[in-house]
Amino acid sequence: MTLPLVPTATLSPTTRWAGVGASNLSDSGAAGREAAAGALDGREAALVIVFASDDHDLEALVETVRTCSGEAALVGCTTAGEIWTGQAGANGTVVFALGGDGLAVSASVSPRASADLRAAGANAAAGALAGQSGAHQVLMLLTDGLAGDQNEVVRGAYSVAGAAIPLVGGCAGDDLRMARTRQIFGDSVLEDAVVAVSITSDAPLGIGVGHGWVKVGEPLVVTASSGTRVASLNDRPALDVYLEQLNPPAEAHSDPVAFTHFAQTHPLGLDRRTGVSIRFVAGADFNTRELICIAQVPEDGLAFLMEGDAGSVLDATDEACREALAGLGSHSPLALLAFDCIARRGVLGDDGIGGEARRLSAMAPGAAVAGFYTYGEFARTQGMTGFHNQTLVVLALA
């Protein structure tokens, strides 16, 4: 089902603008008010995006944001950490606002997505893209990464958007509780939903992707897998191979929490023609000796064990930013939207993520920067596939 469209907000002030506001207040209503005020600064926006911790009373937060956002398309999701201009943190609230002339925004949502993720992606995309066209257009997806294989969401969205419209976005988080994530659409707070936002601009849009992981050891054949569960690598139990080759701390051999913590920095890399596609290892089944990933791992393919460090992750941040900004050509960046994998946050640590945020801002001085740590990222600019793990996706707006 696709809910009614939020009315398209095409505004005509003299210039396009972007603003970001953040709040660390624990009172959800107050946090929403503070962050929205910072982002909007009294201006009338076409699009307002909320990235907030799952700790918040999201309904109360959305209600106060809505009092400031007026007729703007209001979307958002819960996070595993928030990013805003020059800073990053956890358990907070970030509001991003976009307005001005030469800009058209339309949003849509498909609830109960897990019943048919492909259809959910297609329906949400169709709702957001209906009647929208322009020289520079992007479709942003905010989804529930716990609802199933997000490649299907991309396939559905792509079947509607086609090659001409790139896809970006991320899967909502819940501060690594892995229990539930929520999506915001208008006044509604939903779970198991796909929110799609079409942004059409007179100015160019740029998208960059980077991960910063390196291969460990020889390639492995995925000898048995089903959906997101990898049963065996090289005909041996996948968990055993993973533990033997990466040699994690002893507690990760039996403690699920310790294992997940370790796995954040040790994803699987799937061999692709043009490189490696990262698969976040979310957990393990210690009885069946299976690895449990966030996205599908096809059987019979080649996979690598991967690892990263702070240096390589930050290098990848620069790389993604540069690629995104390159898409703007001669135009000055107005804003950067960052969809950064929770695993990269794990590598950087709580102290390191501030450095990453500063790097983002430094790459685009004066631009509003907003984003969140995700459970999966979307970026499709070439080909048809576009779901990533342990990757940073940056959307640059001019």
Interface residue with other proteins, options 60, 203, 302, 310 (CB under 8 A): 302
> Over the range 73-100, which residues count as b (16 or more CB within 10 Å of their CB) and which as e?
bbbbbbbbbbbbbebbbbbbbbbbbbbb
Exactly one of 217, 256, 298, 349 binds other proteins (CB under 8 A); which one? 298
Amino acid 275 reads: G
**Binding-site residue total for other proteins (CB under 8 A)?**
20
In this chain, which of 4, 42, 164, 287 binds other proteins, going by CB under 8 A?
164
CA 167 – CA 339 distance, rounded (Å) = 12
* 311 binds other proteins, rule: CB under 8 A: no
**384 is a site residue for other proteins (CB under 8 A):** yes
**Judged by CB under 8 A, which of 165, 263, 293, 397 binds other proteins?**
165
**Shortest separation between residue 192's beta carbon and other proteins, angstroms:** 21
162 belongs to the binding site for other proteins (CB under 8 A): yes
Q: 24, 159, 188, 223: which one contacts other proteins (CB under 8 A)? A: 159
Based on its alpha-carbon atoms, the radius of gyration of the chain, rounded to whole angstroms, reads 20
Note the residue count of the chain.
Answer: 398
Rule CB under 8 A: is residue 383 a binding residue for other proteins?
yes
- Of the listed pieces 96-104, 167-175, 271-279, 364-372, which binds other proteins according to CB under 8 A? 271-279
Cα separation of 84 and 345, whole Å? 14
Measured CA to CA, the distance from residue 144 to residue 288 in angstroms comes to 26
CB of 398: closest distance to other proteins in angstroms?
20
Beta-bridge partner residues of 168: 140, 379
- Could you say whether residue 235 binds other proteins (CB under 8 A)? no
155 binds other proteins (CB under 8 A): yes
The smaller minimum CB distance to other proteins, of residues 276 and 334, is found at 276
Instruction: Tell me: does residue 326 bind other proteins (CB under 8 A).
Output: no
Q: Is 132 in the site for other proteins (CB under 8 A)?
A: no
Minimal distance in Å, beta carbon 155 to other proteins? 6
Residues contacting 104, CB < 8 A, separation 6+? 8, 9, 10, 46, 132, 134, 198, 199, 200, 201
Using CB under 8 A as the binding rule, whether residue 382 contacts other proteins is answered as yes
- 335-341 sheet: strands from edge to edge: 87-89, 82-84, 368-374, 335-341, 392-397, 205-210
The answer to whether 329 contacts other proteins (rule: CB under 8 A) is no
Segment contacting other proteins by CB under 8 A, of 1-9, 46-54, 158-166, 319-327: 158-166
Q: Which two tokens stand for residue 132?
A: 């929208």
CA distance 371 to 315: 18
Residue 131 as a binder of other proteins (CB under 8 A): the answer is no
Q: Are 189 and 182 in contact (CB under 8 A)?
A: yes
Beta bridge partners of 307: 214
Among 1, 163, 214, 257, binds other proteins (CB under 8 A): 163
CA atoms within 13 A on the CB side of 94: 27
Task: Choose between 134 and 352: whose C-beta lies nearer to other proteins.
Answer: 134
- Give me 324's structure tokens: 């995104």
Choice between 89 and 204, CB closer to other proteins: 204
Compute the least distance from the CB of residue 161 to other proteins, in Å: 8
In the complex, the residues that contact other proteins under the rule CB under 8 A are 155, 158-159, 162-165, 271-274, 298-302, 382-385
